[in-house]
Amino acid sequence: MDNREKLLQQLTGVDSSKLNYYVELKKRNREILQQNSRLEILHQLTRDINIDMSIEDIIERTFQKLPGALPCDFLGLATIQKGKLTLKAMMPKDFCRVESFPHHAPTWQVIRARKVGVFDPAPSYQSHLQHNLNYPEQIREIAIAPMFERAEVIGALLVGSVIKSAYNEAELNFVQHLADQLAICIQNARLYKQVSRAKKEWEETFKAVTDPIVLIDTEYNVLLHNDRLPPEMMEIWERAKTEKCHDRLHGLKRPCRECPVEEVKRSQHPYHLRTQTKSGLLFDFSYYPVLNEESQVVAITVFMKDVTQKTKMEAQLVHSAKLAAIGEMAAGVAHELNSPMTVIIGTAQMLIKEIQNGSTIGEVEELEDIFNCGLRCKRIIQNLLTFSRQDQAPDLLPAGPGPGE
pLDDT value of residue 39 = 72
pLDDT for the residue 3? 62
Q: Which CATH architecture has domain 49-194?
A: 2-Layer Sandwich (3.30)
- The number of angstroms, rounded, from the C-alpha of 32 to the middle of its chain's C-alpha atoms is 50
Specify the fold of 311-388: Helix Hairpins (1.10.287)
CA angle 166, 170, 174 (to 5 degrees): 90
Nearest to 100 by CA among 66, 127, 132, 65: 127
Q: What local confidence, expressed as pLDDT, does residue 315 receive?
A: 87
Contacts of 248 (CB under 8 A, 6+ apart): 214, 222, 236, 237, 240, 242
In Å, how far are 197, 283, 353 from 45, measured between CA atoms?
26, 55, 123
Interatomic CA distance for residues 106 and 142, integer angstroms: 9
- Classify domain 213-306 at the CATH class level: alpha beta
**Residue 124: predicted pLDDT:** 80
Q: What residue ranges do the domains of the chain occupy?
A: 49-194, 213-306, 311-388
The answer to whether the beta carbons of residues 299 and 287 sit under 8 Å apart is no
Q: Who contacts 376 (Cβ-Cβ below 8 Å, separation ≥6)?
A: none
Kindly tell me the burial class for residue 44, based on how many C-beta atoms sit within 10 Å of its own C-beta (0-12, 13-18, 19 or more).
middle
Q: Do the first three CATH levels of 213-306 and 311-388 match, i.e. the same topology? A: no
Distance CA 240, CA 29 (A): 68
Long-range contacts of 3-10 (CB under 8 A, 24+ apart): none
Whether the CB-CB separation of 280 and 260 falls below 8 Å is answered with no
By the 10 Å C-beta count (0-12 exposed, 13-18 middle, 19+ buried), 201 is classed as exposed
pLDDT at residue 398, rounded to an integer? 39
β-strands 152-161, 129-131: how paired? unpaired
Tell me what pLDDT residue 113 has: 93
What was the pLDDT predicted at 270?
94
User: What does pTM read for this prediction?
Assistant: 0.57
The closest alpha carbon to 387, from 317, 332, 313, belongs to 332
The pLDDT value recorded for residue 57 is: 85
pLDDT of amino acid 123: 85
What is the distance between the terminal CA atoms of the chain, rounded to a whole angstrom?
168
Per-residue pLDDT of the chain (405 residues; tens, 9 = 90+): 556 655 555 555 555 555 566 666 666 666 676 667 777 777 767 776 677 778 888 888 888 888 877 888 999 999 998 889 999 999 999 998 888 888 889 999 999 999 999 999 888 877 788 888 888 888 999 999 999 988 899 999 999 999 988 898 888 998 998 899 888 888 888 888 888 899 899 889 888 888 999 999 999 999 999 988 888 888 889 898 899 999 998 889 898 888 999 999 999 999 999 988 888 889 999 999 999 999 999 999 999 999 999 889 988 888 888 877 877 777 777 777 777 877 787 877 777 777 766 655 566 677 777 778 878 888 887 777 776 665 444 443 333 333 333
Give me the half-sphere count of Cα atoms (radius 13 Å) on the Cβ side of residue 30: 6
Strand order in the sheet with 117-119: 84-91, 74-81, 152-161, 141-149, 117-119
